């Protein structure tokens, strides 16, 4: 089946199906343009010619980077021109590493870094949640990415509305916290949509449909935030009403139902678009603490498919050791464990790598992790190991750990090593 025709993005209003949607844009966060200076060395901003058709999803090895709300905060959102300059620099830096995909966080806290009729504007846009920034950053970002042959997957956090009392610092009147308090659960200072509430899950799916209808993104991406707690009180009423006997199995069914609904929504919009999830690197935690049935998702294909790919966050280095003495999660051990799980033919397996570990280590109890993450080629070594074992791709967490004001001095050497193994040396 041919790829869907790209819709022109912009500020023109359109109607789609049962719901009237505003076509428009994502804005991603306020910040200083000076923060574009980075440790990896600035790649000059280019002005590549626009291809006649936006590129298809990358073939062959998937080489990605997460651009989180923390990274957007380093860009200048004071207007369209400063934002375009910052987006162009960011994307040139990604292309300069030989990457072909950016995973852009567009809904981190139940608010939208794009124009939405379902979610308020993110506070990252103007400093106040719900305030229109007055221009279309997602449109600009997609234009600049696609001109460079870079795919953009829209990264959504489905349940989280607030991670603490200070994040986000304010909530718009139209935030779900205010409009649908019956859908919520709280864990500590955090506020989340309750995964056991069918209406809340349906709202998440509607949000995915809206995004796909209004923007030519190349896919949808969820991270590892599913059930926020194992506390049985979280959804006790819903569980009692269900008649189910096993809480863990019931919760996993709830999460899988949402994931499969999103998958089918993505495929209904365009069968060539992809939906992937980046769970924790510890599969036991995924299944028993966050109730994401990752091994079952990997094995489900055809009519039963729920994902196009999984990208576990394997953020440990070689030799990583727990205080118990276990080395199960050392990179050389957890990698083959994930690769050993049965996988449907049409489901890809990628690996998330911890760029944020550079120079600081992974907390290994053997006391040697800082040295292992200070070689200047730690990420490149992991990528080469992935390739030797037949992994299909990888993603770096996160952009600001390699570029930007917070990147360590060692990032320059790590970038050089990645360019070398990716054939992207200048």
Whole-number pLDDT of residue 139: 86
What's phi and psi for 405, nearest 5 deg?
A: -65, -25
Those residues with Cβ within 8 angstroms of residue 27's Cβ, 6 or more apart along the chain or in another chain: 77, 83, 113, 114, 121, 122, 124, 125, 126, 133, 135, 136, 137, 138
Position 40 scores a pLDDT of: 57
Q: What pTM was estimated for this model as a whole?
A: 0.87
Beta bridge partners, 89, equal: none
Along the chain (426 residues), what's the average pLDDT of each consecutive run of 10 residues?
A: 40 29 28 36 44 39 96 90 95 96 95 93 90 87 96 96 90 96 96 97 98 97 95 97 98 98 98 98 98 98 96 98 98 98 97 97 96 97 94 97 91 96 84
Residue 237's SS3 state is helix
* Structure confidence at residue 406 (pLDDT): 84
pLDDT value at residue 213: 96
pLDDT in tens, 177-232: 999 999 999 999 999 999 999 999 999 999 999 999 999 999 999 999 999 999 99
Q: Say which residue the tokens 């609904």 belong to.
A: 261
Alpha carbon distance 195, 192 (integer Å): 8
Predicted local distance difference test score (pLDDT) of residue 113 = 85
Phi, psi (degrees; rounded to nearest 5) at 82: -60, -35
Cα separation, 53 vs 302, whole angstroms: 29
DSSP 313: B
For 258, the token pair is: 């949402």
């Amino acid at each position: 089946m041919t790829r869907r025709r790209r819709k022109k993005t912009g500020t023109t209003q359109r109607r789609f199906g049962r719901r009237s949607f505003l076509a428009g844009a994502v804005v991603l966060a306020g910040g200083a343009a000076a923060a574009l200076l980075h440790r990896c060395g600035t790649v000059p901003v280019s002005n590549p010619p626009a291809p006649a058709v936006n590129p298809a999803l990358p073939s062959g090895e998937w080489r990605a980077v997460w651009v989180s709300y923390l990274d957007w905060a380093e860009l200048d959102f004071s207007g369209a021109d400063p934002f375009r300059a910052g987006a162009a620099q960011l994307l040139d830096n990604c292309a300069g590493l030989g990457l072909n995909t950016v995973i852009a966080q567009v809904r981190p806290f139940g608010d939208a870094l794009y124009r939405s009729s379902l979610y308020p504007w993110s506070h990252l846009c103007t400093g106040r949640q719900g305030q229109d920034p007055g221009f279309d950053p997602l449109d600009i970002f997609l234009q600049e990415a696609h001109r460079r042959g870079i795919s953009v997957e829209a990264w959504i956090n489905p349940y989280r509305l607030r991670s603490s009392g200070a994040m986000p610092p304010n909530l718009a009147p139209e935030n779900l916290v205010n409009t649908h308090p019956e859908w919520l659960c709280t864990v500590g200072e955090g506020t989340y949509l309750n995964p056991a509430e069918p209406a809340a899950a349906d709202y998440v799916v509607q949000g995915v449909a809206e995004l796909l209808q209004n923007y030519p993104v190349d896919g949808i991406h969820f991270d590892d935030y599913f059930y926020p707690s194992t506390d049985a009180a979280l959804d006790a009423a819903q569980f009692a009403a269900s008649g189910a006997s096993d809480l863990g199995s019931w919760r996993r069914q709830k999460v899988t139902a949402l994931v499969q609904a999103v998958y089918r929504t993505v495929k209904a919009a365009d069968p060539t678009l992809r939906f992937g999830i980046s769970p924790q690197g510890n599969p036991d935690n995924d299944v028993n603490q966050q109730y994401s049935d990752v091994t079952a998702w990997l094995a489900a294909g055809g009519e039963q498919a729920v994902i196009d790919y999984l990208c576990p966050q394997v953020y440990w280095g070689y030799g990583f050791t727990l205080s118990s003495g276990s080395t199960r999660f050392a990179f050389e051990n957890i990698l083959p464990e994930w690769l050993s799980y049965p996988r449907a033919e049409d489901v890809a397996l990628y690996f998330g790598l911890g760029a944020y570990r550079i120079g600081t280590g992974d907390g290994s109890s053997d006391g040697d992790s800082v040295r292992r993450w200070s070689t200047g080629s730690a990420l490149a070594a992991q990528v080469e190991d992935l390739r030797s074992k037949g992994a299909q791709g990888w993603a770096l967490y996160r952009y600001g750990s390699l570029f930007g004001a917070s990147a360590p001095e060692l990032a320059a050497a790590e970038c050089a090593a990645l360019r070398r193994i990716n054939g992207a040396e200048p």
